[in-house]
Amino acid sequence: MNDSGSLYIVATPIGNLDDISLRAIEILKSVQLIAAEDTRHSKKLIQSIQVDTPLISYHDFSSESATRKILDKLQAGLSIALISDAGTPLISDPGYKLVCMARQLSIEVLPVPGPCAVTAALSVAGLATDRFVFEGFLSAKSGARQKRLQALAREMRTIVFYESPHRIEVCVEDMALVFGADRQVFIARELTKKFESHFLGSMADCVLWLKSDSNNQKGEFVVVVSGCNEEEDQLRKQQQALEIVELLRREVSMKQAVAIASKITGARKNKLYEIALNNVNFDDA
């Protein structure tokens, strides 16, 4: 029989302290230790809910030996709760290594679900939620950011990003460039906090909204982008196919060029042929 204690992964508020769950309070009181991303930050939360369980530090840069120490305590029978600065641990927050190793040691890992900025934003966005992908933070470097966005341009599911106030404007500008000015986007700013605000509209209008008031660029952000629709997908494929046709036209007939380009890109052949014939660049069609 396994005599280890349990590792509880406890969600805490993302702004409004009243969002702590009754079960989260109960577990934080009952465990022997709380492992926190930032003990000073978490002290305020646990004091506000009259919890006096000792705190220890655990973050992504914790050494192997610090992780080992927590696992040793669990194996010795202590139960430990992991919390992050806000929301659900492991969601763009520390904990992955610890959970992974705890599982390898057959230590029970139990969730105490609650606030999470991804689900909070999705629940009010008004964009499709039946399928979505979570992308977390984009790169701070513009080249890498645009490359990642290019890779997502034809994603049909709703895409969720986290963003910081320093980069929200350039991030949405890059999205407008890569996804197109008409793509729908929802911005959830300062969810559950005093200055919470939302924006829903096109990428082009979102850029204007961000620029219209410097307050719109302050705080914490979730950016929810609607997926690429069939029509937009066909247009992208067509554009790519036309570039291929233009290259191939020097080597093969228009008909062959269109057939090859359509096969590579998935663009509709008949439509592509019609557009290619009318395209001024193809003077010998």
Positions in the binding site for ligand SAM (CB under 6 A): 14-15, 84, 86-88, 91-93, 116-118, 162-164, 188, 190-193, 220-222
Of residues 69 and 198, the one with the C-beta less far from ligand SAM:
198
**Coil, helix or strand for 25?**
helix
Decide the pairing of beta strands 158-163 and 184-189. unpaired
**Comparison of 80 and 188: residue with beta carbon closer to ligand SAM:** 188
Q: How many other CB atoms are found less than 10 A from the CB of residue 194?
A: 8
Sign of the CA dihedral 162, 166, 172, 178? negative
Instruction: Give 121 or 275: the residue with its C-beta nearer to ligand SAM.
Output: 121
DSSP H helical ranges for 6-57: 22-30, 39-48
Are 89 and 114 in contact, with CB atoms under 8 Å apart? no
Tally: H helices and E strands in the chain = 11, 10
Minimum separation from the CB atom of position 200 to ligand SAM (A): 15
User: Cβ 257 to ligand SAM, closest distance in Å?
Assistant: 46
Please calculate the CA angle 220-224-226 and round it to the nearest 5 degrees. 165
Q: Return the number of the residue (88 or 226) whose C-beta is nearest ligand SAM.
A: 88
- Nearest approach, Cβ of 190 to ligand SAM (angstroms)? 5
Q: CB of 170: closest distance to ligand SAM in angstroms?
A: 15
Q: How far is the CB of 159 from ligand SAM (least distance, A)?
A: 14
Closer residue to ligand SAM, CB minimum distance, 155 or 163: 163
Q: Looking at this protein, which amino acid is placed at residue 254?
A: M
